Amino acid sequence: MKNKKIALAVSAGIAAYKAVELLRMLVKEGADVRVVMSANAGQFVTPLTFESLSGNPVYHQLFNSERSADMEHIRVAENADLMLVVPATASTLGKMANGLADDALSNLYLAFKGPVMAAPAMNEGMWGNLAVRKNIEQLKSRGVEFIEPEEGELACGTTGPGRLADLDRIFSRVKSRFEKLQDLRGIKILVTAGPTHEPLDPVRYLSNPSSGKMGYAIAGQAQARGGEVVLISGPTHLKPPTGVGFKSCKTAEEMNQLVQEFLPECDALIMSAAVGDFTAEKLEKEKIKKQSGEGRTLNLVPTKDILMEVSKVKTHQFVVGFAAETQNLVQSALEKLRNKKLDLIVANDISAPGIGFQSDNNQVTLIDADEKIENLPRMSKKEIADILLDKIPGHAR
């Protein structure tokens, strides 16, 4: 954890005093910890305690005449590798889940783009409350990693789930999170994303609603975990993740050429792009005019099957394909896996509402080369990205 920058966010639970000991443990291991407190956390522990032990100023007042103009929540957010909320109260989780930002902690959370971990602690009634459950599910689906509380005697005098996880457990989860963050070091990963545009005339094209979110999430997570990443993307509205080699293209043929160019050097290829299967037989040089009342027949020819081309030339590469289907999901994915000699296929039913194209979430089925089927629950594309990256051989976790 040496020199890792952690924003330790403390909210107003009785377990706030335990965050003091956790801070000591993190600092001892070499972490550079910046404590952030909710507006109410000072009722339990003073900022001075955290300031003395961390050696850094504590960010606890959103409106502080000296520092507010500097937008401290943005500065802290820009500089942290990880945000760790300990303890996470029911109220703070509610704010995080619903985008409320009325104090230093909640503002930092909204501004922060990196990984977030939370260790909740509360009375067992609060822990079981449906509103709290829903907030936690929401946050999980957005990639927040929870260190679940333990069962036992609670400060309020009752017994049940809700006690802050043991500090050693929190500490080792944070440590392994950082190890995971670098587990793809030395591995070269090629990712394709987005749709392709197959032109019909100078102003029209054939395409699909792929947003590119899945591929960009894979590229971003792979880069964050230390991988050397090249992202080949069809047209999307997304910003390429920082630190990733980026190649843009429009057509399936352009994407195919880029894949062939980068394939020999990569260790893993993850083809999440929704590549068009057909292109116009003839590209009209001028805009096709509408003739009143008349229809138009388009002649389409198949595009090059990129994964099939890859299967002919691949050597050591671990190749992952995606199958977006509207029927016979597993059967179609299995056929694609076999025909294209894939190491893994990610199948998703694009007819299901609320997942797939455009969405931040997805529900997928993984099938590996031994045809072992793994049904994953609905989760964020970022979480799916991490599960796929865990399958790459040689990653050091």
Ligand X SMILES: Cc1cc2nc3c(=O)[nH]c(=O)nc-3n(C[C@H](O)[C@H](O)[C@H](O)COP(=O)(O)O)c2cc1C
User: Which residues of the chain form contacts with ligand X (CB under 6 A)?
Assistant: 11-15, 38-41, 89-92, 121-122, 126
**Residue 85: which residues within 8 A CB-CB, separation 6 or more?**
9, 10, 11, 92, 96, 105, 109, 116, 117, 118, 119
For the bound state, the minimum distance from the C-beta of residue 131 to ligand X, rounded and expressed in Å, comes to 12
Q: Confirm whether 156 is a catalytic residue.
A: yes
Residue 127 vs 216, nearer CB to ligand X = 127
CA 245 and chain centroid, separation: 18
Whole-angstrom distance, CA of residue 383 vs CA of residue 137: 13
Residue 39 vs 352, nearer CB to ligand X = 39
For the bound state, the minimum distance from the C-beta of residue 158 to ligand X, rounded and expressed in Å, comes to 12
For the bound state, the minimum distance from the C-beta of residue 121 to ligand X, rounded and expressed in Å, comes to 5
For the bound state, the minimum distance from the C-beta of residue 57 to ligand X, rounded and expressed in Å, comes to 19
Residue 17 vs 246, nearer CB to ligand X = 17
For the bound state, the minimum distance from the C-beta of residue 154 to ligand X, rounded and expressed in Å, comes to 8
Q: Which of 20, 111, 156, 280 is catalytic?
A: 156
- Beta-carbon count within 10 A of 361 CB: 17
Please give the positions annotated as active site: 156
